Structure 1
Amino acid sequence: MSSLRITLIGGPTALIEIDGFRLLTDPTFDAPGAYQLPHVRLEKLTGPALAAGQVGPVDAVLLSHDQHSDNLDHSGKDFLRQAKRVLTTEAGAKRLGGHVEGLAPWATTELMGKDGRSLTITATPARHGPAGIEPLSGDVIGFVLSSKERSPVYISGDTVWFDGVAEVARRFKAGVVLPFAGAAQTRGPFHLTMDTNDTIETARAFPDAVIVPLHTDGWAHFRQSASDLRASFDTLGFGARLKLLEPGVATVIEPPHPPASS
């Protein structure tokens, strides 16, 4: 089984090297600064560990959603133009135009490699906050990466724990899960991404998975950090399953082998 390498660039942005393919999640390459959105102001505190030009070519960008600057900033939009493929929500594809492809939850597409390998990408449901938030937050998706080489990899996108994430766990026995944690909070008393409790619930739903959190640090509206996740996982006995990434360092993640066919 070929190795899976993940390089955290910052926030939700990570380079995933899997089965000969190079994928980038939610590109954010701007320097620290503020963004005034229609209903909220976001402040970026930490710049990227790698500049856009240091990433190199990617086979696809996996963009959970385009409407928030902490998931797609100015430099990130520039990066989309050079990517071979960009996969995002159907609404986002209409807004971004060009070669951006929209996927509804549970829709699939394939990446084909020169060596005959293929990677199936499935869009997964996500809810960017509590029930009823959709008209305010807009559409979001996550992604599952599947191949014959390994157990699936699940990237949650900006979501809280809800029945859609539970359904992903029922359909896919993921060996690696990348939850977007950090308990983002802007307006109101509720969080918009997974907090420590949500992340623990996700770990319980995927009992055989290594948990590799993204989107935990670097923005003023995050209420919990990677260190909070470490403390919670250790206290509750899940610590051995949590893998925290050092920004800018390519880290090999060893998921379990897929079950043998009968």
Structure 2
Amino acid sequence: MHVQLIRNATLRVEYAGKTFLIDPFLGEKGAYPPFPNSERQDANPLADLPIAIDDILTGIDAVILTHLHLDHYDEVAKQVLPKAIPLFVQNEDDLTVIEGDGFTNVTVLSDTTAFEGINLTKTAGEHGRGPILEMAGLVCGVVFTHPTEQTLYVAGDTVWYDEVAKTIQAHQPAVIVVNAGDNQFVEGGSLVMNEEDVRHVHEAAPSATIIAVHMEAVNHWKLSRPDLRAYAASHGFADRLIVPEDGETISR
């Protein structure tokens, strides 16, 4: 498999001969207002795309949307994605929205979804802890399996909690992608994983390669790439953690 970080949570995943685009956030740097109630008030996204949109879209076989927040599915994605491309979403509500945007080949992920021989298993996530969950809304992750590939778990916008642990126990993924920018509003706590959450993932899957993304790309990030790398080094799992730069590809 090849996992390329584009920016934020946007990934190109080449798996068992097919290429997936996950959570396309494709607007130009500074195209959108900052998320409110955050210490940093810079326009989003904070970084340029590392490669041209045409190159991002070349060879894409399917798209997966873990949820529909702006930094996972934006106006540019609506415009440039082919309307007939196979597109997978977390639930019927998201399907209705996506079909309203003109897409014609939309499927709700389940425990038994298959695409071209690849099993796509929807996984649970919690986009924060406590009262902020109601505002953050529903999210999902996805596990990829195929007889010719190692198992890949893309956790999505979730913090560490018991369902993430259960997913790891059930699927024993060799590669786990975590959204680890510790994004926060002024009040409410972490919306995605912080460094301690990432350590819990490692402890649950000590032999897995962890790829940390969703970092330094939108204005409410709290955990930097250097700080996460340093934390992993000081807690003994730097050799199992990759914190890629935008545009970087990890092959396994």
On whether the aligned pair clears a TM of 0.5, the verdict is yes
Q: Given residue 44 of structure 1, which amino acid in structure 2 is its aligned partner?
A: P
Separation in structure 1 between the aligned mates of residue 9 and residue 248 of structure 2, nearest angstrom: 15
Distance in 1 between the 2:226 and 2:34 partners? 28
Distance 1:210 1:151 in 2: 11
Cα distance, 1:65–1:172 mapped onto 2, change above 3 Å: same
Provide the C-alpha distance between the structure 2 equivalents of 1:85 and 1:214, rounded to a whole number of angstroms: 24
Q: For residue 12 of structure 1, what is the amino acid of its counterpart?
A: A
After superposition, where does 1:183-202 map in structure 2 within 5 Å?
183-202=182-201
Determine whether 1:96 maps to 2:98.
yes
1:31 pairs, out of 28, 31, 36, with 28
Q: Secondary structure at the match of 2:167?
A: helix
SS in structure 1 at match of 2:33: strand
Is 1:109 matched up with 2:110?
no
> How many angstroms does 1:52 deviate by?
2.0
Residue 170 of structure 2 is matched in structure 1 by 171
Percent identity between matched residues is 29
Question: 1:24-173 counterparts in 2 under 5 A?
Answer: 24-33=21-30, 34-35=32-33, 43-55=44-56, 56-66=58-68, 68-82=69-83, 84-90=85-91, 91-97=93-99, 98=103, 99-103=105-109, 107-112=111-116, 118-173=117-172
Structure 2 CA distance for aligned equivalents of residues 57 and 233 of structure 1: 35
SS at 2:179 equivalent:
coil
Could you tell me how far 1:94 is from its partner in structure 2?
A: 1.7
TM-score by length of 1: 0.85
Runs of 4+ in 1 over 6 A off after TM superposition: 36-42
Residue aligning to 1:259: none
Sort the Cα spacing of 1:83 and 1:161 in 2 relative to 1 into closer, same or farther, 3 A: farther
Report the more deviating stretch, 49-58 or 220-229: 49-58
Tell me by how many angstroms 1:242 deviates.
0.9
Aligned-partner residue type, residue 88 of structure 2: L
Contact kept? 2:37, 2:185, Cα under 8 Å:
no
Cα separation, partners in 2 of 1:37 and 1:46, compared to 1, 3 Å:
closer
Which residue number in structure 1 is paired with residue 179 of structure 2?
180
Q: Secondary structure at the match of 1:16?
A: strand
Root-mean-square deviation over aligned CA pairs: 2.0
**Residues of 1 paired with 2:20 and 2:243: CA distance?**
19
CA contact under 8 A between 1:5 and 1:17: conserved in structure 2? Answer: yes
| CA separation of 1:86 and 1:37: change in aligned 2, threshold 3 A | farther
Question: Which moves more between the two structures, 34-43 or 237-246?
Answer: 34-43
Q: Deviations over 1:234-261 (max 9, x none)?
A: 0001010011223223332x3xxxxxxx
Report the counterpart of residue 240 of structure 1 in structure 2.
239
Tell me, which stretches of 5 or more residues in structure 1 are unaligned?
113-117, 255-262
Structure 2: stretches of 5+ with no match in the other structure: none
Q: Quote the residue 1:13 is aligned against.
A: 10
Q: CA deviation at 1:60?
A: 1.5
